[in-house]
Amino acid sequence: MANACGCDYDPANWASQVEDACLRQGAQLTPLRRRVLEIFSGSAAPLGAYAILEELSHREGKHVAPPTVYRTLDFLIEHGFVHKIESLNAYAPCEHLGHAHQGMLLICEACGRSEEIEDPEVMRAIAGSAAAAGFALQVYVTATLSKYDQRSTNVFEEHVRSLPQVIAADIVAGETDYLLTIVARDVAELHQVLASLSAHGGQRLVTYLRLAEIKPPSPLPLGQTGVPRRSRTRREPLQPR
């Protein structure tokens, strides 16, 4: 089934697409990881870790330890096969495997079903509104390396430093390796930057569109200790009834 973006996403075939991607990447797909893929394929809604744990324990006929599921989810996230939805603390399959993309995850509030869309027209509309308001298109991009060796690291980081559109770049710890701040004149230029990052060893490129600033950069809190407390409103004493 071909989508508007040209991807052949089909929930029934998603697990086999992940298997093909693992072969191309040289990643190991263990029996446990295959069973978790099957669980994702059978669900139309994002799944929490404990929902996966419960279904996996049911299929295995025995209790499965939570760390086992979390390690499997870390593997799937690291290779770009699933997305973590922070607001729901849940996970959903990536519907656009095999290429860097800007996706939006739509979630039905009634049934919980999710659908990832990749629509350049929507991004152009957002970029157009930002440009009309006098703002350039600015995004934060997280990236992981496709290979972990010194040569691959040098190739990717040298390319990042050479891109004028990358105005800040940091190595971070956690589910991703790098956090980049990128500016572009339009969506087409942004896609060119993302494609070049992918060609130089970057994978799992996830973009976050910067909408507004809520606090400008401020001086370091030198000499200050603790966290300011919220002022409490004085309560009026209760009056006898």
CATH number at residue 93: 1.10.10.10
Predicted confidence at residue 123, as pLDDT, reads 66
Query: Residue 1: its pLDDT value, please?
Result: 42
| Contact residues for 24 (Cβ-Cβ < 8 A; gap 6+) | none
Is residue 44 within 8 Å of residue 116, measured between CB atoms? no
* C-beta separation of 21 from 12 below 8 A: no
Looking at the fold, whether 74 and 163 belong to one and the same domain comes out as no
pTM: 0.51
Q: Tell me the CATH number at 188.
A: 3.30.70.920
Q: Which domain does 179 fall in, by range?
A: 120-209
What are the tokens at 73? 């989810």
State the Cα–Cα distance between residues 142 and 45, nearest whole angstrom: 24
Regarding whether 74 and 140 lie in a shared domain, the answer is no
111 and 61 assigned to the same domain: yes
Residue 160: predicted pLDDT:
94
In a domain, 214, yes or no: no
Could you read off the pLDDT of 137-174 as tens digits, one per residue? 888 999 988 888 899 899 999 999 999 889 899 999 88
**Could you report the per-residue pLDDT of 6-56, keeping only the tens digit for each?**
444 566 688 888 888 888 878 888 999 999 999 998 887 889 999 999 999
Highest mean pLDDT among 1-5, 41-45, 94-98, 104-108: 41-45
* Residue 27 CB partners (closer than 8 Å, separation 6+): 21, 75, 79
Q: Tell me the pLDDT tens digit for each residue of 197-207.
A: 988 988 888 88
Backbone angles phi, psi at 156, to 5 degrees: -65, -45
Residue 216 in any domain: the answer is no
Residue 52 is predicted with a pLDDT of 93
Q: What is the C-alpha to C-alpha distance for residues 199 and 156, in angstroms, rounded to an integer?
A: 9
pLDDT for 6 equals 45
Task: Say whether both 139 and 93 belong to one domain.
Answer: no
Domain boundary among 74, 95, 117: 117
Residues contacting residue 85 through CB under 8 Å, at least 6 positions apart:
46, 91, 92, 105, 107, 114
The verdict on residue 204 lying in a domain is yes
Tokens 């070049």 label which residue? 196
Cβ atoms of 46 and 83 closer than 8 Å: no
Number of domains, the chain: 2
125/203 same-domain check? yes
| Residue 217 half-sphere exposure toward CB, CA atoms < 13 A | 0
Note whether residue 217 is domain-resident: no
Residue 60 structure tokens:
């295995």
Separation between Cα atoms, residue 222 and residue 42, nearest integer Å: 53
pLDDT score, position 3: 45
- Same domain (yes/no): 80, 154: no
Q: What tens digit of pLDDT does each residue of 80-91 get?
A: 888 888 778 888
140 in any annotated domain:
yes
pLDDT of residue 235: 53
Residue 137's pLDDT is what? 80
User: In terms of domains, do 134 and 85 share one?
Assistant: no
Give the pLDDT score at 53: 93
| Residue 221 within any structural domain of the chain | no
- Whether 232 is in a domain gets the answer no
Whole-angstrom distance, CA of residue 98 vs CA of residue 36: 20
* 162 shares a domain with 137: yes
Residue entry with tokens 């809520």: 214
Tell me what the mean pLDDT of segment 228-238 comes to.
56
* Whether residue 136 sits in one domain with residue 111: no
Residue 135 CA: distances (Å) to CA of 120, 126, 169: 19, 11, 21
**Residues 20 and 96 placed together within one structural domain of the fold:** yes
Give the C-alpha separation, 165 to 163, whole Å: 5
58 and 23 together in one domain: yes
Assigned token pair, 159: 């390319």
Identify whether residues 181 and 104 lie together within a single domain.
Answer: no
Answer whether 116's CB lies under 8 Å from 104's CB.
yes
111-143 residue pLDDT tens? 777 777 666 676 667 666 666 665 578 889 999
The pLDDT of residue 180 is: 94
Residue 83 lies in a domain: yes
